[in-house]
Structure 1
């Protein structure tokens, strides 16, 4: 059986790692296409190497233009490679521009589409990823839901493809690395991890200014605010002339390094989807700087809270969470499967 995996961003690479391994274990033929959506290809390369995934067979090298322009590039540049490869199924992980472009292109060519991590919903119409994943789900032949809630969303929307609850392939990767790294949370942690990259946060000068001010306030209370800064975020902050003094700025880190930072942290401040899950699995309290999340499972026990607007009361809430000496253990981590999602996905595809 011939598979084609299309990726373009670091989270997609992480989600795909156990699937790549499982396909090759079963003797499947696999082609990997990198769209180049992540404009710093060397950063993506770092993840391929760490996760022991071979170099992509094809790099479309799309240009970092507007979202519509880049989506059009992905669809046009992917058409001929897909015709030549003629796979039995195109694997589309996540909800990125690359995922949408691949799903639409394969669908138009009459090639079956399998959506990995389908059914996630934030109900934010103005969020690009939300629109992407809804369209992908409705043009996919096979849909793999990472949680029961995601499966329920797909059933409510009456998608045309076959729905399967598989568990989360990111949880597969997490379990492997957690055991390998022997992650244990220190009792006296004073670090706070912050990651910001979403368009509505970084392109609004008022929002990003308030987020940086929040980080500085937390720092003034004796916490080490560690900010692995995304290149695009750094560029925007610089263009706005925002001072980052008092915040521990570091370069983007490898997957294993991020898990170690999260495991050692007192709290995570983020607008990322994947990191909300990883902080939940590591039992590190999370504050999500968004008005909604697609991972409602992480709300359990007050582990994750949404902060859509930064006010004095928001800061007070964060300080209260930081002062909590005991964090409730998650009860239903199995929402995300048993760490064998890739085995289930590949088994279903081979059948």
Structure 2
């Protein structure tokens, strides 16, 4: 069997790592294609190195541009490589523009599509990733759901492909690195970890200013703010003339460093889907700067709180969370048992 996995962003590389390792361990043929959607050292190559997976066999090097022009490039530039490789299955992880372009191209070429992280739903129809994953799910032959809720979503929508509840490959990676890093909470730190990258947060000058101002208010209450800044976020903050004074900014960090920061943080302030889960697994309180979450398993009333509109009361809400004792997680088996990649590879072989 010949397989091809297509990635383009940092989260896709992370969630693909255990699948790539498992496929290669079984001596199967695998081609890795990078779209170039995020392709610089800090946002891409460093993760291939850290995850100890081979470099991509091909980078189609799409140009930066509008979402529509970049999607069109991904679809058109993948066509000839896929015709040449002739894979039996194209594996598409996640919900990015690269994932959508890869799924549509493979589908139109008559190649079977396998979607990793299928069935996640936030019900935010103005969010690019929500539309991406819905389209991918409805043109995939094999759908690998990370949670039972995701699996139920696929069944409700009567997807045409075969759906499986396999568990979350991100949980596979998390368990591996938790052991390698020997992650344990020190209890001595006093900081809030913040990340921002969603378009509806960073493209709106009023919205992003409110978020930055809230972070500064938290800092004034005695908690340091640690803010690894995504390149697109940095660009927007600069263009709006917003000051980051009083906030500890860093360049994007490696996966292992992010886990260390997250483990010892008193709180995570984020709009990331993946970090919501990792905070949940590490028992770190999370404030999600969105109106909904695709990971409803984390919304158990104690671990993840949605904050869609920043109000005067938001600071008090956050400081109350910071002062509370951390609650133990009831169960994280909702995301599988750490063998999702093995299950996925076995299904691919049959």
Q: What is the TM-score with the length of structure 1 in the denominator? A: 0.99
Deviations 1:63-84 (A, max 9, x none): 1100000000000000000000
Structure 1: 5+ residue runs without aligned partners?
A: none
Alpha carbons 1:22, 1:342 under 8 Å: kept: yes
For residue 164 of structure 2, give the secondary structure of its aligned residue in structure 1. Answer: strand
Structure 1: how far apart are the matches of 2:21 and 2:184?
Answer: 27
SS at match of 1:208: helix
1:278 is matched with which residue? 278
> Match of 1:339?
338
Answer yes or no: is the 8 Å Cα contact 2:229–2:252 preserved in 1.
yes
- Per the alignment, residue 297 of structure 1 pairs with 297
Which residue in the other structure is 1:163 paired with? 163
Contact 1:300 1:330 (C-alpha < 8 Å) held by counterparts:
no
Q: Does 1:174 align with 2:174?
A: yes
Q: What is residue 4 of structure 2 aligned with on the other side? A: 4
Paired with 1:186 and 1:223, the residues of 2 have a C-alpha distance of 16
Structure 2 equivalent of residue 244 of structure 1: 244
Determine the C-alpha separation between the residues in 2 that align with 1:286 and 1:249.
Answer: 19
Consecutive unaligned residues of structure 2, counting only runs of 5 or more, are none
Give 2:312's aligned residue.
Answer: 312
**Structure 1 outlier segments of 4+, above 6 Å:** none
Count of residue pairs the alignment pairs up: 350
Structure 1 residue 189: Cα displacement? 2.7
Partners of 1:42 and 1:172 lie apart in 2 by 23
1:229 aligned partner: 229
More off after superposition, 191-200 vs 41-50 = 41-50
Distance 2:37 2:23 in 1: 24
- Secondary structure class of the residue paired with 1:92: strand
Contact 1:214 1:315 in 2 (8 A): yes
CA contact (8 A) 1:39 1:64 kept: no
Shift in Å at residue 234 of structure 1? Answer: 0.5
Which range moved further: 34-43 or 278-287? 34-43
Please give the alpha-carbon distance, in whole angstroms, between the structure 2 residues aligned to 1:210 and 1:28. Answer: 50
Aligned to 1:20: 20
Identify if the C-alpha distance between structure 1 residues 268 and 233 changes in structure 2 by more than 3 Å, giving closer, same or farther: same
Structure 1: distance between partners of 2:5 and 2:16: 8
Partner of 2:348: 349
Contact persistence 2:290–2:308 (CA under 8 A): yes
Structure-1 residue corresponding to 2:253? 253
Counterpart contact for 2:174–2:278, Cα < 8 Å: yes
d(CA) in 2 for partners of 1:42 and 1:308? Answer: 29
How far has the Cα of 1:21 moved from its partner?
0.5
Q: Residues of 2 paired with 1:187 and 1:22: CA distance?
A: 36
Cα deviation for residue 301 of structure 1 reads 4.0
Residue in structure 2 matched with residue 92 of structure 1 by the alignment? 92
Query: Higher mean Cα deviation, 33-42 or 268-277?
Result: 33-42
Structure 1 vs Structure 2 CA RMSD: 0.8
Q: Which region of structure 1 is more displaced relative to structure 2, 309-318 or 100-109? A: 309-318
Q: Confirm or deny that 1:47 pairs with 2:42.
A: no
Distance 1:347 1:303 in 2: 33
Q: Which residue of 1 aligns with 2:200?
A: 200
Would you say the 8 A contact 1:301–1:330 is kept in 2? no
In the TM superposition, residue 187 of structure 1 has moved relative to its aligned partner by 2.2
Q: SS of 1:184's equivalent?
A: coil
